[in-house]
Amino acid sequence: MAKVYKKTSGNGSLCLYLGRRDFVDHVEHVDPIDGVLKIDPSALNGKKVWIQLACAFHYGREDLDVIGVSFRKDIWIKRIQMHPFEGTKPPNTPMQDALLKKVGDHGHPFTFDIPVHLPCSVSLQPAPEDAGKPCGVDYEVKAYIANEEDETDEKVVKKDTCRLIIRKIQYAPSELAAGPKTDLNKQFITADKPIHLEASMEKELYYHGDPIPIKVKVNNETSKVVKKIKISIHQITDVLLYSADKYHKCVLNEEFADQINANSTFEKEYRVTPLLANNKEKRGLSLDGKLKDEDTNLASSTILLPNMDKQIQGLVVSYKIRVTLIMGGGLLGSLTLSDITAELPLILMSPKPAEVTDIDLERLYSQ
């Protein structure tokens, strides 16, 4: 069933309504933000009302702002004057018609179109002792009463505002490409023939929480013995907006006691599942944008249009899988020069949920 999200200003003169808080980036276009603002004109005292959609990048805790330096950078802001209204109103969406019937005569529909080049909602996992809003990209819809459109937050009285955090998210595309495959030969100085490693997956994209099958084939034509096989999955986050930082976080690391003897072949499919539940203590891990009191997951892979400017994305997330043949001879848990590692790209995303139907919207009328 569809749900109505509602936020009222402290003085009760503004009330913001949204029928959803997740808006999908389809790569080539983004779902419009369609909502309704209820305005009590008797409480305005000659002031005007605006509604604003802002995409911002937070790169520091708000409680560290002790010298007037903001740890927030606005990536994109759009404002609409709602009272008195200026401009041209687009046709109402079915969601707005449903909300207007619920809100009544003082309801005013608004629509924002998000450009495709803006980033999706992503946050960096804070340490357990960290407080305040986490670093990352978020979107906020805010209605406020003011004399001028661009009055700062310091000038706008808090009781004259109401706001809701929303998310811009990407779901897995319906058409998936064939899975990647990598081949690797390693020649040892002491051996006449090489050892051959092949790693592959059936498809390039997997859903959060689903097992990922990885096929491993080995042709060991040497006199050396493979002691075991290690599979790891790594999240790479490029922080592009304020610096050129790159974070590498291992989100899965499993070893399998499969020994491959000299002059033998080996073939097996391994199934691994990277989960946020196993990485709760890793500070700086990228997560999908989180709404209050809702669970989230590892950040989805960032899907960009060709030639899109990465700089404005703020955070770009990707994954890779490493398959390593442990030849032995090194310290416990460490790799040696004789170990063999092959890499595979991985796209990790959420499946697209069922669409909200007209029947769901009809239920809004009676709530």
Under a CB-based contact definition with an 8 Å cutoff, are residues 139 and 54 in contact? yes
Task: Tell me what percent of the chain is helix, strand and coil, each rounded to the nearest 5.
Answer: 10, 45, 45
Give the C-alpha separation, 173 to 206, whole Å: 11
How does the average pLDDT of the chain come out, rounded?
A: 85
In the structure, what pLDDT confidence band is assigned to residue 365 with cuts at 50, 70 and 90?
Answer: very low
pLDDT digits (tens, 9 = 90+) for 140-185: 999 999 988 776 655 788 899 999 999 999 988 877 788 999 999 9
In the structure, what pLDDT confidence band is assigned to residue 333 with cuts at 50, 70 and 90?
Answer: very low
Give the C-alpha separation, 104 to 349, whole Å: 39
Residue among 143, 119, 148 at smallest CA distance from 15: 143
The string of DSSP codes covering 332-363 is TT---TT-EEEEEEEEEEBPPPPPPPHHHHHH
pLDDT at 97: 93
How far is the CA of 65 from the CAs of 61, 131, 340, in angstroms? 7, 13, 47
Under a CB-based contact definition with an 8 Å cutoff, are residues 179 and 337 in contact? no
Pairing of strands 22-24, 161-169: parallel
pLDDT at 304: 80
pLDDT digits (tens, 9 = 90+) for 29-53: 899 999 999 999 988 888 999 999 9
Among residues of the chain, what percentage have pLDDT more than 90? 53
Angle at 48 between CA 43 and CA 49, to 5 degrees: 85
Asked if residue 275 has pLDDT above 50, the reply is yes
Peptide bond into 41 cis (omega under 30): no
Question: Which pTM does this prediction carry?
Answer: 0.83
Asked if residue 131 has pLDDT above 70, the reply is no
The string of DSSP codes covering 297-310 is -BPPPP---TT--G
Asked if residue 366 has pLDDT above 70, the reply is no
Q: Domains, the chain, ranges and CATH?
A: 5-171 (2.60.40.840), 181-349 (2.60.40.640)
Give the C-alpha separation, 335 to 340, whole Å: 9
pLDDT at 74: 87
Give the C-alpha separation, 235 to 320, whole Å: 7
In the structure, what pLDDT confidence band is assigned to residue 229 with cuts at 50, 70 and 90?
Answer: very high
337 contacts: CB under 8 Å, gap ≥ 6: none
Give the C-alpha separation, 365 to 361, whole Å: 7
Under a CB-based contact definition with an 8 Å cutoff, are residues 69 and 90 in contact? no
Tell me how crowded residue 310 is: count the other CB atoms within 10 A of its CB.
14
Radius of gyration, alpha carbons of the chain: 26
pLDDT digits (tens, 9 = 90+) for 236-251: 998 876 666 788 999 9
Give the C-alpha separation, 320 to 178, whole Å: 16
3-state secondary structure of 360: helix
Helix and strand numbers (H, E) in the chain are 2, 20
pLDDT at 247: 85
How far is the CA of 189 from the CAs of 206, 222, 331, 338, in angstroms? 39, 11, 22, 10
More confident residue, 360 or 309: 309
Asked if residue 114 has pLDDT above 80, the reply is yes
pLDDT digits (tens, 9 = 90+) for 51-104: 999 999 877 655 454 444 556 788 899 999 999 888 788 899 999 999 999 898
Q: Where are the alpha helices (DSSP H) in the chain?
A: 94-103, 358-365
93 contacts: CB under 8 Å, gap ≥ 6: 32, 34, 111
Say which residue the tokens 């610096």 belong to: 243
Q: Which two tokens stand for residue 161?
A: 């505002």
Q: Which two tokens stand for residue 237?
A: 């986050």
pLDDT at 332: 45
